[in-house]
Structure 1
Amino acid sequence: MLNSLSALQLDYIRLWFLVQHSLTSFYKIHKHYTNLAKATQPDQVEIWQKLGIHKNHIQRLQDFHLPESQLQFERCIDLIQKHSDFVLLQEDAHYPQQLLPYADKPPILFGQGDAHTLLQPQIAIVGSRKPSNHGRQIAYDFAYYLSEKGFYISSGLAQGIDEAAHQGALQHKRTIAVMGTGLEQTYPPQHQQLRQQIIAKGGTVITEFLPGTLPLQQHFPRRNRIVSALSLGVIVAEAALKSGSLITAKWAAEQGKLIFAIPGHIYSEHHQGCHQLIREGAILIDHPDQVIEDLALPTQWQNRLQLEQTNPPSPTKIELPAHLTPLYNQLDWVGQPIDEIVAKQQLDVATLTGQLMELELLGLCMQQAGLYLRCRPGK
């Protein structure tokens, strides 16, 4: 539960409320106004019209001063504060950096649980909502193995493969659920206990949708783009030809992510979607180690995880100095050249090099093949 929201968070939520989750309208308005609070004033209708904002959104702006609209917004804010443990804006240091390169990134995320898990290395596991028993077991086993190796497993909290993946990763307390509704509800309702387990065991549940958002069909493809964007790669464990998980694979391909597909019997309807993905270029896998190998993750990082499993580190957690937080949060698990980091951090090379060295001494950063990447901190 949140005690309060900042002025900037309220500005974001107000605009998000008026444009009803429209990414196109939100970013047009966000780009035009240096002060987002001004964007939602009643006298801005003409500006919105010039920006080409949809007439429905303009009408909502015109009606926003009415008592009924104000009451709806106040209820929305109350529900956000009641059901959210955190609200992340795209400007925030703790906003997932892996989402930032995409034009359709969610401008705001509402979440429950530990927000820091969103910055951890993730692999998505998706698939059919009505899988075979074999497919369900495979999703569980892959999630169990990869979470044991230190990865967080991301999925959509749906029935079937999503559910099995979350359950497998829960055994090592490493899973993230992305929802297609507001935080005040769970879809499907029978996964309320699973959701509570994810939060209780150090995981995270997030959504870009405001309270009151129903589980409509068009919301789940939007959710899928976040699942894939957060992850280093996407595993399709089992899917029929018309499975919604193929939409996730499509998003992953457009985002430049690796797509992995687990094959099955050639006469099985449950696997025709996976076979189609393989024909289109997805990587065929039959063991989770192949995922780690094909992602080409740093050998040092993998070795560090294996050492931690046999020799657990001291429970003392490394405190990250405040001046290093923006830089550490920008680093990812793949690696970035120093020129790219300089451009994003807007620091001179000497200062940036010094900060990178500080992170290396703390064991939070490493350099490999000319790229700087994040290390997993001791816990």
Structure 2
Amino acid sequence: MLHTLSTHQLDTIRLWYLVQHSLSSFYKLYHHYNDLAQATRLDQFETWRKLGLHKNHLQRLQDFHSAESQSQFQRCLDSIQSSCDFILLQNEVNYPQQLSPYDNRPPILFGQGKMDSLLQAQIAIVGSRKPSTHGRQMAYDFAYYLSEQGFYINSGLAEGIDEAAHRAALQQHRTIAVMGTGLDQTYPSVNQMLRKQILESGGTVITEFLPGTPPLQQHFPRRNRIVSGLSLGVIVAEAALQSGSLITAKWAAEQGKTVFAIPGHIYSEHHKGCHQLIREGAILIDHPQQVIEDLALATQWQISAQPTSSTLVEPEQIEIPQHLLPLYNQLDWIGQDLDQISLQLNQDVSTVTAQLMELELLGLSTQQAGMFLRCRTGK
């Protein structure tokens, strides 16, 4: 639960509320105004009109300062404070660096659970809401194996493949759910207990949608871009030709992410979507270790490095010091040289070197062949 909202958070939420989650309208205004508080004043109506905002947004700005609208907005804020454990804005150091390169990144993320999980190496597993028994088992097995290797498994909290992937990763306390509704509700409702288990196991639930946002059809393709954007790669475990998980694969390809597909019987309708993805260039996989190999990650991910259960450090035990978050968020799992990191953070080399040493002592970064990269938690 949030006790207070900062001025910047309030300004961002107010604008997000007025434009009704419209990314194009939000970013038009975001780039026009240096101060978002000014953007939502009633005297800015003409500026909004000149910027070409939708008539619905213009009407909401006009109505916003009425007593009724202010009361509705306050109820929204109250719900945010009661339902959220954290809020991440796109220009904050805690915001997932994986999403930053994309023009359609969510300007705000509302979350429950462990915020630092979003900074960890993630693989998405998606697929049919009505999978075959075989497909469900494959999703579970792949998620269990990869989470055991230290990856966080993220998915969309839907029935079927999503659910199986979340349940498997729960065993290692490494799963993240991205929702297509506000945090004040769960869709589908049958996964309410699964959501509770994710949070109780140290996992994370996030959304870009404000409280009160219903599970509208158009929200789920939007959710899918976050699922793929957070991930190093996307596994489509099972999908028919019209499966919504193919949208996630499309987003992943556009974002430059690696797309994997698990094949099935050639006459099975359940697998035709995966077969189509393979024809279009997705990587065929029949073992989860192939995902690690094809992502070409550093040697820290080799299976031979697996610890025994007695030495495993669970992710919830590792805390990233606040002053090291910008550096840790800048690092990736491939590697960057010292000059590149220093330039990106606009810090001198000596400061970056000292902080890299701190991260290494905490087991959160390592150096390989002159390149600095993140370490997986629980190594």
Same fold (TM over 0.5): yes
User: Partners of 1:317 and 1:31 in 2: how far apart?
Assistant: 39
User: Partners of 2:225 and 2:79 in 1: how far apart?
Assistant: 25
Q: Deviations for 1:324-352, whole angstroms, at most 9, x for unmatched residues?
A: 23111221223234444233311133432
SS in 2 for 1:256: coil
State the partner residue of 2:187: 187
The answer to whether residue 41 in structure 2 is matched with residue 41 in structure 1 is: yes
Q: Deviations for 1:117-168, whole angstroms, at most 9, x for unmatched residues?
A: 1111110000001110110111111111111111111000101101111111
Please list, as runs of the form range in 1=range in 2, the aligned pairs for 1:1-379 lying within 5 A after superposition: 1-302=1-302, 306-307=306-307, 309=309, 311-312=311-312, 320-377=320-377
* CA pair 309-299 structure 1, distance change in 2 beyond 3 A: farther
| Kept in 2: contact 1:155–1:177 (CA 8 A) | yes
In terms of mean alpha carbon deviation, does 315-324 or 229-238 score higher?
315-324
Q: Deviations for 1:195-238, whole angstroms, at most 9, x for unmatched residues?
A: 10000111011100001111111000000000000111000000
Structure 1 residue 316 displacement after superposition: 11
Structure 1 residue 21 displacement after superposition: 0.4
User: Partners of 2:272 and 2:194 in 1: how far apart?
Assistant: 29
* CA pair 309-281 structure 1, distance change in 2 beyond 3 A: farther
Q: Deviations for 1:263-300, whole angstroms, at most 9, x for unmatched residues?
A: 00000000000000000000000000000111111113
Q: Deviations for 1:303-342, whole angstroms, at most 9, x for unmatched residues?
A: 6951365633599966655432311122122323444423
User: Partners of 2:179 and 2:316 in 1: how far apart?
Assistant: 33
User: Partners of 1:148 and 1:234 in 2: how far apart?
Assistant: 17
Structure 1 residue 48 displacement after superposition: 1.5
* CA pair 90-315 structure 1, distance change in 2 beyond 3 A: closer
Structure 1 residue 46 displacement after superposition: 1.6
In terms of mean alpha carbon deviation, does 298-307 or 311-320 score higher?
311-320
User: Partners of 2:120 and 2:273 in 1: how far apart?
Assistant: 29
* CA pair 250-320 structure 1, distance change in 2 beyond 3 A: closer
Could you tell me which amino acid in structure 2 is paired with residue 61 of structure 1? L
Structure 1 residue 31 displacement after superposition: 1.1
TM-score (norm. length: structure 2): 0.95
In terms of mean alpha carbon deviation, does 349-358 or 211-220 score higher?
349-358
Could you tell me which amino acid in structure 2 is paired with residue 289 of structure 1? Q
Q: What 5-or-longer segments of structure 2 have no aligned partner?
A: none
TM-score (norm. length: structure 1): 0.95
SS in 1 for 2:20: coil
| Kept in 1: contact 2:292–2:301 (CA 8 A) | no
| Kept in 2: contact 1:150–1:305 (CA 8 A) | no
* CA pair 32-343 structure 1, distance change in 2 beyond 3 A: farther
User: Partners of 1:176 and 1:318 in 2: how far apart?
Assistant: 17
Could you tell me which amino acid in structure 2 is paired with residue 282 of structure 1? A
Structure 1 residue 88 displacement after superposition: 0.9
* CA pair 257-360 structure 1, distance change in 2 beyond 3 A: same
Q: What 5-or-longer segments of structure 1 have no aligned partner?
A: none
| Kept in 2: contact 1:317–1:378 (CA 8 A) | no
| Kept in 1: contact 2:150–2:377 (CA 8 A) | no
In terms of mean alpha carbon deviation, does 202-211 or 342-351 score higher?
342-351
User: Partners of 1:293 and 1:135 in 2: how far apart?
Assistant: 22
SS in 2 for 1:209: coil
* CA pair 322-265 structure 1, distance change in 2 beyond 3 A: closer
User: Partners of 1:333 and 1:192 in 2: how far apart?
Assistant: 33
* CA pair 294-92 structure 1, distance change in 2 beyond 3 A: same
* CA pair 304-86 structure 1, distance change in 2 beyond 3 A: farther
In terms of mean alpha carbon deviation, does 89-98 or 349-358 score higher?
349-358
* CA pair 132-360 structure 1, distance change in 2 beyond 3 A: same
User: Partners of 2:338 and 2:133 in 1: how far apart?
Assistant: 47
Structure 1 residue 50 displacement after superposition: 2.3
